[in-house]
A and B are shown apart, each in its own frame.
Chain A
Amino acid sequence: EVQLLESGGGLVRPGGSLRLSCVASGFTFSTYRMHWLRQTPGKGLESVAGISADGGDDFYAGSVRGRFTISRDNSKNTLYLQMGSLTTDDMAIYYCAREDNFGTSDYWGQGTLVTVSS
């Protein structure tokens, strides 16, 4: 059974940093592109970042480029999102998701909540 378990969310001050993790199981992690997406009541669902199966290529939404870094450790079946210069616009539930062979996300984790507040 495919499982994605996010962690690392919490309360952070504006301008602060946070690192999210997503541990994958139930599939060969090293053969799949992976993504981070987020959801807010105001903006809805948004893509944040994606990374190739071997970690050699990464891509970002314009709103986070230069502030967030996606990475992965295939030996640990773990996906990361390093977030910096956080603002209240980054407050959201962050999901990790697997990209399947049909170019979209077929499995999502349950999400981790990031709150940005002073």
Chain B
Amino acid sequence: DVVLTQSPLSLPVTLGQSASISCRSSQSLVYSDGNTYLNWFQQRPGQAPRRLIYKVSKRDSGVPDRFSGSGSGTDFTLMISRVEAEDVGVYYCMQGTYWPWTFGQGTKVENK
């Protein structure tokens, strides 16, 4: 199975500042159709995961533009600019290029 490694695992942030989460894959996530199926999810306490970003950099409907994704091949980044209180939670990268889908360990973003 593809292993996704996130860093850091804990990220204390000052509201209004930026936050960056890294996700590295054990193999390239480029699919045979040329697309890269790397996604980012947010999970708030007591809630199901919610997808924020799909195919590396495309924001889902309703996701604020302070969330952005980037990267290619095996290295990916989620950036949150101007962190707000509602952004506190755990963030996961997830690959859909290979079955089974696999997830990173999660990065806990908390208010410093």
| A contacts, CB < 8 Å to B | 35, 37, 44-47, 50, 59, 61-62, 95, 100, 102-106, 108-111
Given A46-B102, A103-B97, 14 additional A-B pairs, CB 8 A: A35-B101, A45-B106, A47-B101, A50-B99, A95-B48, A100-B54, A102-B96, A103-B31, A103-B35, A103-B37, A105-B101, A106-B51, A110-B47, A110-B48
A-B contact pairs, 18 of them (CB 8 A): A35-B101, A44-B103, A44-B105, A44-B106, A45-B49, A45-B92, A45-B106, A46-B103, A47-B99, A95-B48, A102-B37, A102-B54, A102-B55, A103-B31, A103-B37, A105-B51, A106-B60, A109-B48
Chain A minimum-CB-distance residue to B47: A110
Cβ-defined partner of B96 (8 Å) among A44, A95, A103, A109: A103
- Determine how close the nearest CB of chain A comes to the CB of B101; give it in whole angstroms: 4
Q: What is the predominant secondary structure among interface residues of chain B facing chain A?
A: loop
Q: Scoring B residues 28 to 60 as 1 if CB is less than 8 Å from chain A, else 0, what string do you get?
A: 000100010101000000011111001100101
Q: What is the predominant secondary structure among interface residues of chain A facing chain B?
A: strand
Contact call B99/A59, Cβ cutoff below 8 A:
yes
Q: Scoring B residues 80 to 112 as 1 if CB is less than 8 Å from chain A, else 0, what string do you get?
A: 000000000000101011011111011000000
Contact call A46/B48, Cβ cutoff below 8 A:
no
Most B CB within 10 A of own CB, among A62, A95, A105, A110: A105
| Bound CA–CA A95/B103 (angstroms) | 15
Please name all residues of chain B whose beta carbon is closer than 8 Å to the beta carbon of A109 when the two chains form the complex: 48
Contact call B51/A104, Cβ cutoff below 8 A:
yes
| Bound CA–CA A44/B50 (angstroms) | 15
Contact call B48/A104, Cβ cutoff below 8 A:
no
Please name all residues of chain A whose beta carbon is closer than 8 Å to the beta carbon of B55 when the two chains form the complex: 102
Contact call A104/B54, Cβ cutoff below 8 A:
yes
A45-B92, A109-B48, A110-B48 known; A104+B101 contact, CB < 8 A: yes
| Bound CA–CA A95/B49 (angstroms) | 10
| Bound CA–CA A62/B35 (angstroms) | 25
Cβ-defined partner of B103 (8 Å) among A45, A62, A103: A45
